[in-house]
Amino acid sequence: MLLHVLVLPLALLGPRPADAVDAPLRRGELKGARAALCVVDVHTGERLYAQRADEAQAPASNLKLLTTAAALSLLGPEHAFSTRLLATVAPDAQGTLAGDLVVLGGADPCLRGDLLAHEGVVDPAMLLADLLQVHGVRRVTGRLVLDDGLLDREWLSPDWKDGDIGNDYAAAVGALSLHGNCLTVQVGQGTAAVLATLADGYRLENRLEAAASSGAYEVGITRPDAAGVLVARGRIGRGVAPQLVRVPVVDPTQLFGRCLLARLRERGVSVDGGAAVEAGAAARAPHALGTLQSPLVNAVLLANKESDNGIADHLFKYLGALRGGAGSFAGGERALLAWLRTEVATPVEGVVLHDGSGLSGKDRVSARLLTDVLRHMALRGDAAGHAFLRSLPVAGLDGSLKARMNADDLRGAVRAKTGYIAGVSCLSGYARSASGRLLAFSVLINDFDPKQTNAQMKAIQDDICRALVAQP
Protein backbone atom coordinates (compact mmCIF):
# COMPACT_ATOMS: atom_id res chain seq x y z
CA MET A 1 0.00 0.00 0.00
CA LEU A 2 1.33 3.41 -0.93
CA LEU A 3 1.72 5.92 1.85
CA HIS A 4 -1.01 8.53 2.31
CA VAL A 5 -0.27 12.07 3.33
CA LEU A 6 -2.05 15.27 4.31
CA VAL A 7 -2.85 15.87 7.91
CA LEU A 8 -2.80 19.65 7.64
CA PRO A 9 -3.89 21.47 4.48
CA LEU A 10 -1.06 21.84 2.05
CA ALA A 11 -2.62 25.08 0.87
CA LEU A 12 -0.80 26.72 3.76
CA LEU A 13 2.38 26.32 1.78
CA GLY A 14 1.10 28.78 -0.80
CA PRO A 15 -0.36 28.60 -4.28
CA ARG A 16 1.88 25.80 -5.58
CA PRO A 17 0.19 22.41 -6.05
CA ALA A 18 0.24 20.05 -3.09
CA ASP A 19 2.14 17.54 -5.21
CA ALA A 20 5.27 19.70 -4.95
CA VAL A 21 5.83 18.23 -1.48
CA ASP A 22 3.53 15.23 -1.71
CA ALA A 23 4.99 13.55 -4.77
CA PRO A 24 8.31 12.38 -3.30
CA LEU A 25 6.49 10.64 -0.45
CA ARG A 26 4.30 8.67 -2.87
CA ARG A 27 7.16 7.04 -4.71
CA GLY A 28 7.31 3.30 -5.03
CA GLU A 29 10.63 3.18 -3.18
CA LEU A 30 8.73 3.98 0.04
CA LYS A 31 6.25 1.12 -0.28
CA GLY A 32 6.01 -0.49 3.16
CA ALA A 33 8.14 2.18 4.79
CA ARG A 34 7.10 4.59 7.55
CA ALA A 35 7.86 8.09 6.36
CA ALA A 36 7.37 11.08 8.66
CA LEU A 37 7.54 14.72 7.64
CA CYS A 38 7.02 17.93 9.56
CA VAL A 39 7.50 21.46 8.20
CA VAL A 40 7.20 24.58 10.38
CA ASP A 41 7.55 28.26 9.60
CA VAL A 42 10.25 29.28 12.07
CA HIS A 43 9.00 32.81 12.64
CA THR A 44 5.23 32.27 12.76
CA GLY A 45 5.24 28.82 14.32
CA GLU A 46 2.70 27.52 11.80
CA ARG A 47 2.99 23.81 11.14
CA LEU A 48 2.76 23.86 7.38
CA TYR A 49 2.93 20.18 6.64
CA ALA A 50 2.62 17.01 8.70
CA GLN A 51 2.67 13.31 8.01
CA ARG A 52 3.23 10.97 10.96
CA ALA A 53 4.74 14.05 12.55
CA ASP A 54 4.00 12.98 16.13
CA GLU A 55 5.04 9.35 15.67
CA ALA A 56 8.27 8.42 17.49
CA GLN A 57 10.75 6.95 15.02
CA ALA A 58 14.43 6.09 14.87
CA PRO A 59 16.30 9.32 13.95
CA ALA A 60 19.78 7.90 13.18
CA SER A 61 22.28 10.76 13.24
CA ASN A 62 19.52 13.38 13.30
CA LEU A 63 19.67 12.74 17.05
CA LYS A 64 22.91 14.75 17.06
CA LEU A 65 20.73 17.84 16.60
CA LEU A 66 19.28 17.30 20.08
CA THR A 67 22.63 16.48 21.68
CA THR A 68 24.45 19.49 20.26
CA ALA A 69 21.57 21.92 20.82
CA ALA A 70 21.28 20.82 24.45
CA ALA A 71 25.05 21.10 24.97
CA LEU A 72 25.18 24.66 23.65
CA SER A 73 22.08 25.65 25.62
CA LEU A 74 23.01 24.06 28.95
CA LEU A 75 26.75 24.75 28.94
CA GLY A 76 27.01 27.87 26.80
CA PRO A 77 29.08 28.30 23.62
CA GLU A 78 32.02 29.66 25.61
CA HIS A 79 32.36 26.40 27.55
CA ALA A 80 35.57 24.39 27.20
CA PHE A 81 36.60 20.84 28.06
CA SER A 82 39.58 20.60 30.42
CA THR A 83 42.18 17.86 30.90
CA ARG A 84 44.29 18.68 33.95
CA LEU A 85 47.75 17.57 35.10
CA LEU A 86 48.01 17.51 38.91
CA ALA A 87 50.53 16.28 41.46
CA THR A 88 50.20 14.96 44.98
CA VAL A 89 53.35 16.93 45.91
CA ALA A 90 55.12 19.82 44.23
CA PRO A 91 58.19 18.98 42.13
CA ASP A 92 61.49 19.90 43.77
CA ALA A 93 64.24 22.08 42.32
CA GLN A 94 65.90 19.06 40.66
CA GLY A 95 62.70 18.18 38.75
CA THR A 96 61.73 15.22 40.92
CA LEU A 97 58.06 14.75 41.70
CA ALA A 98 58.23 12.54 44.79
CA GLY A 99 54.65 11.37 44.56
CA ASP A 100 51.95 10.65 41.98
CA LEU A 101 51.28 12.49 38.74
CA VAL A 102 47.50 12.63 38.26
CA VAL A 103 45.64 13.24 35.00
CA LEU A 104 42.05 14.38 35.57
CA GLY A 105 39.88 13.58 32.58
CA GLY A 106 37.29 16.08 31.44
CA ALA A 107 35.60 13.98 28.72
CA ASP A 108 37.30 15.99 25.96
CA PRO A 109 36.59 14.18 22.66
CA CYS A 110 38.81 16.49 20.60
CA LEU A 111 42.28 15.38 21.76
CA ARG A 112 43.05 14.00 18.31
CA GLY A 113 45.93 14.66 15.99
CA ASP A 114 43.66 14.98 12.96
CA LEU A 115 41.74 17.79 14.66
CA LEU A 116 44.85 19.62 15.90
CA ALA A 117 47.03 19.21 12.82
CA HIS A 118 46.33 22.80 11.73
CA GLU A 119 48.10 23.88 14.93
CA GLY A 120 51.08 21.67 14.18
CA VAL A 121 50.11 19.08 16.80
CA VAL A 122 50.73 15.48 15.78
CA ASP A 123 49.89 13.89 19.13
CA PRO A 124 47.99 15.63 21.97
CA ALA A 125 49.81 13.37 24.45
CA MET A 126 52.94 15.26 23.52
CA LEU A 127 51.28 18.50 24.62
CA LEU A 128 50.76 17.01 28.07
CA ALA A 129 54.36 15.86 28.19
CA ASP A 130 55.46 19.37 27.23
CA LEU A 131 53.39 20.86 30.07
CA LEU A 132 55.44 18.80 32.51
CA GLN A 133 58.64 20.02 30.92
CA VAL A 134 57.53 23.61 31.46
CA HIS A 135 57.44 22.81 35.18
CA GLY A 136 60.87 21.19 34.99
CA VAL A 137 59.62 17.70 35.87
CA ARG A 138 62.18 15.03 34.97
CA ARG A 139 61.18 12.16 37.20
CA VAL A 140 58.01 10.91 38.91
CA THR A 141 58.85 8.56 41.75
CA GLY A 142 55.22 7.49 42.12
CA ARG A 143 52.70 6.54 39.47
CA LEU A 144 50.89 8.08 36.54
CA VAL A 145 47.35 7.99 37.98
CA LEU A 146 44.46 8.29 35.54
CA ASP A 147 41.32 9.80 37.09
CA ASP A 148 38.49 8.95 34.69
CA GLY A 149 35.72 9.29 37.26
CA LEU A 150 33.77 12.03 35.47
CA LEU A 151 32.18 9.45 33.17
CA ASP A 152 31.32 5.83 33.88
CA ARG A 153 33.13 2.86 32.32
CA GLU A 154 30.28 1.52 30.24
CA TRP A 155 32.38 2.34 27.22
CA LEU A 156 29.83 1.20 24.62
CA SER A 157 26.06 1.46 24.49
CA PRO A 158 24.51 -1.99 24.94
CA ASP A 159 22.23 -1.15 22.02
CA TRP A 160 25.02 -0.88 19.48
CA LYS A 161 25.10 -3.81 17.10
CA ASP A 162 27.93 -6.33 16.99
CA GLY A 163 28.48 -5.38 13.35
CA ASP A 164 29.20 -1.80 14.39
CA ILE A 165 31.47 -2.52 17.34
CA GLY A 166 35.00 -2.89 16.05
CA ASN A 167 34.59 0.05 13.67
CA ASP A 168 35.99 3.47 14.48
CA TYR A 169 32.53 5.09 14.31
CA ALA A 170 31.52 3.00 17.35
CA ALA A 171 34.56 3.68 19.53
CA ALA A 172 34.51 3.74 23.32
CA VAL A 173 33.27 6.76 25.28
CA GLY A 174 35.23 7.72 28.40
CA ALA A 175 36.42 10.65 30.51
CA LEU A 176 40.01 10.24 29.25
CA SER A 177 39.96 9.97 25.47
CA LEU A 178 42.84 10.23 23.03
CA HIS A 179 43.00 9.71 19.25
CA GLY A 180 39.26 9.09 19.16
CA ASN A 181 40.00 6.04 21.32
CA CYS A 182 41.49 4.28 18.32
CA LEU A 183 44.88 2.95 17.30
CA THR A 184 46.06 3.67 13.77
CA VAL A 185 47.57 0.91 11.64
CA GLN A 186 49.23 1.61 8.29
CA VAL A 187 48.76 -1.16 5.76
CA GLY A 188 49.75 -1.47 2.12
CA GLN A 189 52.89 -1.58 0.01
CA GLY A 190 52.71 -5.29 -0.42
CA THR A 191 51.61 -6.98 2.78
CA ALA A 192 53.29 -4.54 5.15
CA ALA A 193 51.41 -3.49 8.28
CA VAL A 194 52.72 -1.14 10.98
CA LEU A 195 51.20 0.11 14.22
CA ALA A 196 51.49 3.86 13.66
CA THR A 197 50.27 5.07 17.07
CA LEU A 198 53.03 5.63 19.61
CA ALA A 199 51.81 3.77 22.70
CA ASP A 200 53.22 1.27 25.16
CA GLY A 201 51.68 -2.17 25.59
CA TYR A 202 50.23 -2.83 22.12
CA ARG A 203 51.55 -5.20 19.47
CA LEU A 204 50.42 -5.92 15.93
CA GLU A 205 50.42 -9.44 14.49
CA ASN A 206 50.58 -9.20 10.72
CA ARG A 207 48.83 -12.11 8.98
CA LEU A 208 48.14 -10.30 5.73
CA GLU A 209 48.65 -12.22 2.49
CA ALA A 210 49.52 -11.08 -1.01
CA ALA A 211 46.60 -11.04 -3.44
CA ALA A 212 46.81 -12.12 -7.07
CA SER A 213 45.04 -8.96 -8.19
CA SER A 214 47.17 -5.82 -8.01
CA GLY A 215 44.28 -3.69 -6.72
CA ALA A 216 42.77 -6.16 -4.24
CA TYR A 217 42.21 -4.84 -0.73
CA GLU A 218 40.42 -7.01 1.83
CA VAL A 219 41.70 -6.16 5.28
CA GLY A 220 40.33 -6.68 8.77
CA ILE A 221 42.06 -5.77 12.03
CA THR A 222 40.79 -6.97 15.38
CA ARG A 223 40.50 -4.80 18.46
CA PRO A 224 43.41 -5.36 20.87
CA ASP A 225 42.85 -8.28 23.24
CA ALA A 226 43.66 -8.34 26.96
CA ALA A 227 47.35 -8.69 26.13
CA GLY A 228 47.22 -5.67 23.79
CA VAL A 229 47.55 -7.74 20.61
CA LEU A 230 45.90 -6.66 17.36
CA VAL A 231 45.71 -9.10 14.47
CA ALA A 232 45.66 -7.96 10.82
CA ARG A 233 44.16 -10.46 8.37
CA GLY A 234 43.21 -10.34 4.71
CA ARG A 235 44.70 -9.87 1.28
CA ILE A 236 46.40 -6.88 -0.37
CA GLY A 237 47.52 -6.42 -3.96
CA ARG A 238 50.93 -5.03 -4.78
CA GLY A 239 49.43 -1.94 -6.41
CA VAL A 240 47.55 -0.75 -3.33
CA ALA A 241 48.83 2.52 -1.88
CA PRO A 242 49.37 2.68 1.89
CA GLN A 243 46.12 2.91 3.83
CA LEU A 244 45.49 4.09 7.39
CA VAL A 245 43.08 1.92 9.37
CA ARG A 246 41.65 3.13 12.68
CA VAL A 247 41.03 0.34 15.18
CA PRO A 248 39.02 1.08 18.35
CA VAL A 249 40.40 -0.05 21.69
CA VAL A 250 38.43 -1.76 24.42
CA ASP A 251 39.62 0.45 27.29
CA PRO A 252 40.11 4.16 26.45
CA THR A 253 41.64 5.06 29.82
CA GLN A 254 44.31 2.42 29.28
CA LEU A 255 45.04 3.80 25.81
CA PHE A 256 45.41 7.30 27.25
CA GLY A 257 47.89 6.12 29.88
CA ARG A 258 49.95 4.06 27.46
CA CYS A 259 50.21 6.91 24.96
CA LEU A 260 51.18 9.41 27.63
CA LEU A 261 53.83 7.12 29.14
CA ALA A 262 55.39 6.71 25.69
CA ARG A 263 55.52 10.47 25.11
CA LEU A 264 56.87 11.16 28.59
CA ARG A 265 59.66 8.69 28.00
CA GLU A 266 60.38 10.33 24.64
CA ARG A 267 60.66 13.68 26.44
CA GLY A 268 63.02 12.20 29.03
CA VAL A 269 60.52 12.06 31.90
CA SER A 270 60.61 8.77 33.85
CA VAL A 271 57.66 7.39 35.82
CA ASP A 272 58.88 4.82 38.33
CA GLY A 273 55.52 3.35 39.31
CA GLY A 274 53.90 2.88 35.89
CA ALA A 275 50.23 3.70 35.27
CA ALA A 276 47.20 3.15 37.48
CA VAL A 277 43.49 4.02 37.25
CA GLU A 278 41.81 5.68 40.22
CA ALA A 279 38.53 7.59 40.03
CA GLY A 280 38.64 10.53 42.43
CA ALA A 281 42.44 10.67 42.62
CA ALA A 282 42.41 14.38 41.78
CA ALA A 283 41.03 15.12 45.26
CA ARG A 284 44.41 14.23 46.77
CA ALA A 285 46.48 16.10 44.17
CA PRO A 286 46.40 19.82 45.04
CA HIS A 287 49.31 20.95 42.87
CA ALA A 288 48.34 22.08 39.35
CA LEU A 289 50.91 21.45 36.62
CA GLY A 290 48.93 22.45 33.55
CA THR A 291 45.64 22.21 31.67
CA LEU A 292 44.67 21.39 28.10
CA GLN A 293 41.39 22.93 26.93
CA SER A 294 39.21 22.41 23.87
CA PRO A 295 36.26 24.69 22.99
CA LEU A 296 32.80 23.14 23.12
CA VAL A 297 31.91 24.85 19.83
CA ASN A 298 34.62 22.85 18.04
CA ALA A 299 33.09 19.60 19.27
CA VAL A 300 29.60 20.70 18.20
CA LEU A 301 30.88 21.70 14.76
CA LEU A 302 32.46 18.30 14.16
CA ALA A 303 29.53 16.36 15.58
CA ASN A 304 27.15 17.96 13.09
CA LYS A 305 29.26 18.85 10.05
CA GLU A 306 31.07 15.49 9.93
CA SER A 307 28.46 13.43 11.83
CA ASP A 308 31.09 12.28 14.33
CA ASN A 309 29.51 9.66 16.60
CA GLY A 310 32.29 9.63 19.17
CA ILE A 311 32.10 13.35 19.77
CA ALA A 312 28.30 13.28 20.04
CA ASP A 313 28.33 10.43 22.55
CA HIS A 314 30.99 12.14 24.65
CA LEU A 315 28.79 15.26 24.70
CA PHE A 316 25.82 13.11 25.72
CA LYS A 317 27.58 11.49 28.69
CA TYR A 318 29.21 14.79 29.62
CA LEU A 319 25.78 16.42 29.86
CA GLY A 320 24.76 13.48 32.02
CA ALA A 321 27.68 14.18 34.36
CA LEU A 322 26.95 17.90 34.62
CA ARG A 323 23.14 17.97 34.35
CA GLY A 324 21.78 14.42 34.51
CA GLY A 325 23.10 13.06 37.79
CA ALA A 326 25.66 10.65 36.29
CA GLY A 327 28.21 10.60 33.48
CA SER A 328 26.47 7.72 31.75
CA PHE A 329 24.18 7.03 28.83
CA ALA A 330 21.24 7.03 31.26
CA GLY A 331 22.42 10.33 32.74
CA GLY A 332 22.64 11.83 29.28
CA GLU A 333 19.06 10.80 28.55
CA ARG A 334 17.84 12.43 31.77
CA ALA A 335 19.67 15.66 30.96
CA LEU A 336 18.27 15.90 27.44
CA LEU A 337 14.72 15.00 28.42
CA ALA A 338 14.74 17.67 31.13
CA TRP A 339 16.03 20.24 28.65
CA LEU A 340 13.37 19.31 26.09
CA ARG A 341 10.59 19.60 28.67
CA THR A 342 11.67 22.80 30.37
CA GLU A 343 13.53 24.88 27.79
CA VAL A 344 12.17 23.74 24.43
CA ALA A 345 8.74 23.08 26.01
CA THR A 346 7.98 20.16 23.73
CA PRO A 347 6.22 16.88 24.67
CA VAL A 348 8.60 14.00 25.37
CA GLU A 349 6.16 11.09 25.58
CA GLY A 350 7.57 8.18 23.62
CA VAL A 351 11.02 9.76 23.33
CA VAL A 352 13.88 7.28 23.86
CA LEU A 353 17.49 8.50 23.96
CA HIS A 354 19.86 5.59 24.51
CA ASP A 355 22.87 7.45 23.12
CA GLY A 356 23.74 10.88 21.78
CA SER A 357 24.78 9.89 18.26
CA GLY A 358 21.75 8.01 16.96
CA LEU A 359 23.77 4.85 16.35
CA SER A 360 21.35 2.94 18.57
CA GLY A 361 18.40 1.55 16.64
CA LYS A 362 16.28 1.93 19.78
CA ASP A 363 16.43 5.73 19.88
CA ARG A 364 13.03 7.29 19.22
CA VAL A 365 12.03 10.88 18.50
CA SER A 366 9.32 12.47 16.37
CA ALA A 367 9.61 14.78 13.40
CA ARG A 368 7.61 17.33 15.37
CA LEU A 369 10.08 17.25 18.24
CA LEU A 370 12.99 17.80 15.88
CA THR A 371 11.32 20.80 14.26
CA ASP A 372 10.48 22.16 17.72
CA VAL A 373 14.17 22.01 18.62
CA LEU A 374 15.23 23.52 15.30
CA ARG A 375 12.76 26.39 15.71
CA HIS A 376 13.84 26.96 19.32
CA MET A 377 17.50 27.23 18.34
CA ALA A 378 16.83 29.47 15.34
CA LEU A 379 14.80 31.92 17.45
CA ARG A 380 17.37 32.24 20.24
CA GLY A 381 19.30 34.95 18.45
CA ASP A 382 22.25 34.51 20.81
CA ALA A 383 25.73 33.01 20.53
CA ALA A 384 24.44 29.51 21.28
CA GLY A 385 21.86 29.74 18.51
CA HIS A 386 24.39 31.08 16.02
CA ALA A 387 26.91 28.35 16.91
CA PHE A 388 24.24 25.71 16.35
CA LEU A 389 23.25 27.10 12.94
CA ARG A 390 26.90 27.33 11.84
CA SER A 391 27.47 23.69 12.80
CA LEU A 392 24.97 22.30 10.31
CA PRO A 393 26.12 21.04 6.90
CA VAL A 394 25.23 23.39 4.03
CA ALA A 395 23.76 21.90 0.86
CA GLY A 396 26.30 21.62 -1.93
CA LEU A 397 29.03 23.33 0.09
CA ASP A 398 30.34 21.45 3.13
CA GLY A 399 30.10 18.62 5.64
CA SER A 400 27.91 15.62 4.94
CA LEU A 401 25.87 17.67 2.41
CA LYS A 402 28.83 18.76 0.29
CA ALA A 403 27.98 16.34 -2.51
CA ARG A 404 24.19 16.73 -2.20
CA MET A 405 21.78 19.37 -3.52
CA ASN A 406 24.54 21.19 -5.37
CA ALA A 407 22.32 22.42 -8.19
CA ASP A 408 21.96 26.19 -8.44
CA ASP A 409 18.43 26.22 -6.97
CA LEU A 410 19.49 24.38 -3.79
CA ARG A 411 23.15 25.14 -3.15
CA GLY A 412 23.36 27.09 0.10
CA ALA A 413 19.58 27.17 0.58
CA VAL A 414 19.45 24.19 2.96
CA ARG A 415 21.26 23.60 6.25
CA ALA A 416 20.53 20.15 7.60
CA LYS A 417 21.76 17.07 9.44
CA THR A 418 21.95 13.77 7.59
CA GLY A 419 21.35 10.38 9.20
CA TYR A 420 21.57 6.72 8.26
CA ILE A 421 21.54 3.33 9.95
CA ALA A 422 20.16 0.08 8.55
CA GLY A 423 16.60 0.66 7.36
CA VAL A 424 16.62 4.30 8.49
CA SER A 425 17.38 7.43 6.47
CA CYS A 426 16.71 10.95 7.76
CA LEU A 427 17.30 14.62 7.03
CA SER A 428 16.32 17.48 9.33
CA GLY A 429 17.22 21.15 9.28
CA TYR A 430 16.31 24.45 7.65
CA ALA A 431 15.26 25.47 4.15
CA ARG A 432 15.05 29.07 2.93
CA SER A 433 12.06 29.52 0.59
CA ALA A 434 12.01 31.68 -2.53
CA SER A 435 10.17 34.40 -0.60
CA GLY A 436 12.75 34.33 2.19
CA ARG A 437 10.78 32.36 4.75
CA LEU A 438 12.86 30.16 7.03
CA LEU A 439 11.32 26.69 7.25
CA ALA A 440 12.32 24.06 9.80
CA PHE A 441 11.76 20.56 8.48
CA SER A 442 12.30 16.95 9.46
CA VAL A 443 12.10 13.90 7.19
CA LEU A 444 12.34 10.56 9.00
CA ILE A 445 12.17 7.41 6.87
CA ASN A 446 12.06 4.14 8.82
CA ASP A 447 11.78 0.50 7.77
CA PHE A 448 12.42 1.03 4.08
CA ASP A 449 12.76 -2.15 2.06
CA PRO A 450 16.29 -3.66 2.16
CA LYS A 451 16.11 -3.84 -1.64
CA GLN A 452 16.07 -0.05 -1.70
CA THR A 453 19.20 1.99 -1.10
CA ASN A 454 20.04 4.93 1.11
CA ALA A 455 20.86 6.84 -2.07
CA GLN A 456 17.23 6.47 -3.13
CA MET A 457 16.05 7.75 0.25
CA LYS A 458 18.42 10.71 -0.03
CA ALA A 459 16.95 11.55 -3.44
CA ILE A 460 13.46 11.67 -1.91
CA GLN A 461 14.69 13.95 0.88
CA ASP A 462 16.45 16.21 -1.62
CA ASP A 463 13.31 16.53 -3.72
CA ILE A 464 11.30 17.51 -0.64
CA CYS A 465 13.89 20.20 0.06
CA ARG A 466 13.66 21.37 -3.52
CA ALA A 467 9.88 21.74 -3.16
CA LEU A 468 10.29 23.70 0.07
CA VAL A 469 12.92 26.03 -1.36
CA ALA A 470 10.72 26.70 -4.39
CA GLN A 471 7.78 27.85 -2.27
CA PRO A 472 6.82 31.50 -2.85
For position 42, what pLDDT does the model report?
A: 97
Query: What is the mean pLDDT of the segment spanning 128-138?
Result: 92
**Do residues 130 and 29 share a domain?**
no
For position 368, what pLDDT does the model report?
A: 98
Q: In which domain, by residue range, is 328 found? A: 10-77+297-469
Query: Is 16 a domain residue?
Result: yes
For position 11, what pLDDT does the model report?
A: 36
CA distances from 131 to 25, 139, 162 (A): 57, 14, 39
**Do residues 73 and 86 share a domain?**
no
- pLDDT surpasses 50 at 16: no
What residue type is assigned to position 62 of the chain?
Answer: N
- Give the CATH number, domain containing residue 233: 3.50.80.20
- Give the CATH number, domain containing residue 391: 3.40.710.10
Query: Is 187 a domain residue?
Result: yes
**Do residues 73 and 94 share a domain?**
no
What residue type is assigned to position 185 of the chain?
Answer: V
CB contact at 8 A, 250 and 170: no
SS (H, E, C) the chain: CCCCCCCCCHHHHCCCCCHHHHHHHCCHHHCCCEEEEEEEECCCCCEEEEECCCCCECCHHHHHHHHHHHHHHHHCCCCEEEEEEEECCCCCCCCEECCCEEEECCCCCCCCHHHHHHHCCCCHHHHHHHHHHHCCCCEECCCEEEECCCCCCCCCCCCCCCCCECEHHHCCCCCCCCHHHEEEEEEECCCEEEECCCCCCCEEEEEEEECCCCCCEEEEECCCCCCCEEEEEEEECCCCCCEEEEEECCCHHHHHHHHHHHHHHHCCCEECCCEEECCCHHHHCCEEEEEEEEEHHHHHHHHHHCCCHHHHHHHHHHHHHHHCCCCCHHHHHHHHHHHHHHHHCCCCCCCECCCCCCCCCCCEECHHHHHHHHHHHHHHCCHHHHHHHHHCCECCCCHHHCCCCCCCCCCCCEEEEEEEECCEEEEEEEEECCCCCEEEEEEEEECCCCCCCHHHHHHHHHHHHHHHHCCC
**Do residues 45 and 88 share a domain?**
no
Distance of CA 22 to the CA centre of its chain: 33
- pLDDT surpasses 50 at 134: yes
Domain boundary among 296, 321, 350: 296
Q: What is the percentage of the chain residues whose pLDDT exceeds 70?
A: 96
**Do residues 251 and 137 share a domain?**
yes
Q: What is the pTM of this model?
A: 0.94
Higher-confidence residue of 370 and 23: namely 370
For position 369, what pLDDT does the model report?
A: 98
For position 19, what pLDDT does the model report?
A: 58
Higher-confidence residue of 8 and 132: namely 132
What residue type is assigned to position 9 of the chain?
Answer: P
Q: What is the percentage of the chain residues whose pLDDT exceeds 90?
A: 89
The arrangement of strands across the sheet holding 424-432 comes to: 47-51, 34-41, 438-446, 424-432, 414-421
Query: What is the mean pLDDT of the segment spanning 351-357?
Result: 98
For position 116, what pLDDT does the model report?
A: 81
- pLDDT surpasses 60 at 445: yes
Pairing assessment for the beta strands 139-140 and 96-97 based on DSSP bridges: parallel
CA distance 111 to 63: 23
CA distance 211 to 232: 15
- pLDDT surpasses 70 at 233: yes
- pLDDT surpasses 50 at 121: yes
What's the total number of domains in the chain? 2
**Do residues 302 and 289 share a domain?**
no
- pLDDT surpasses 80 at 224: yes
**Do residues 373 and 257 share a domain?**
no
Nearest to 49 by CA among 445, 439, 377: 439
Query: What is the mean pLDDT of the segment spanning 290-302?
Result: 96
Residue 335 class from Cβ within 10 Å (0-12 exposed, 13-18 middle, 19+ buried)?
buried
Q: What is the pLDDT of residues 420-434, one digit of tens each?
A: 999 999 999 999 999
Query: Is 455 a domain residue?
Result: yes
Query: Is 1 a domain residue?
Result: no
Nearest to 263 by CA among 208, 198, 316: 198
**Do residues 219 and 291 share a domain?**
yes
CA distances from 60 to 419, 422, 424, 472 (A): 5, 9, 7, 31
How does residue 263 score in pLDDT terms, banded at 50, 70 and 90? very high
Domain boundary among 296, 321, 338: 296
**Do residues 248 and 115 share a domain?**
yes
Query: Is 199 a domain residue?
Result: yes
Average pLDDT value over all residues in the chain: 93
Higher-confidence residue of 266 and 1: namely 266
Query: Is 4 a domain residue?
Result: no
Least confident window among 18-32, 173-187, 314-328: 18-32
For position 8, what pLDDT does the model report?
A: 35
**Do residues 375 and 227 share a domain?**
no
Domain boundary among 296, 316, 337: 296
Query: What is the mean pLDDT of the segment spanning 157-168?
Result: 94
**Do residues 243 and 113 share a domain?**
yes
Query: Is 2 a domain residue?
Result: no
The three-point CA angle 297-62-110 to 5° equals 30
For position 14, what pLDDT does the model report?
A: 42
For position 17, what pLDDT does the model report?
A: 40
Query: Is 3 a domain residue?
Result: no
Nearest to 107 by CA among 304, 297, 322, 257: 322
For position 120, what pLDDT does the model report?
A: 78
**Do residues 285 and 308 share a domain?**
no
Q: What is the pLDDT of residues 26-71, one digit of tens each?
A: 899 999 999 999 999 999 999 999 999 999 999 999 999 999 999 9
For position 415, what pLDDT does the model report?
A: 98
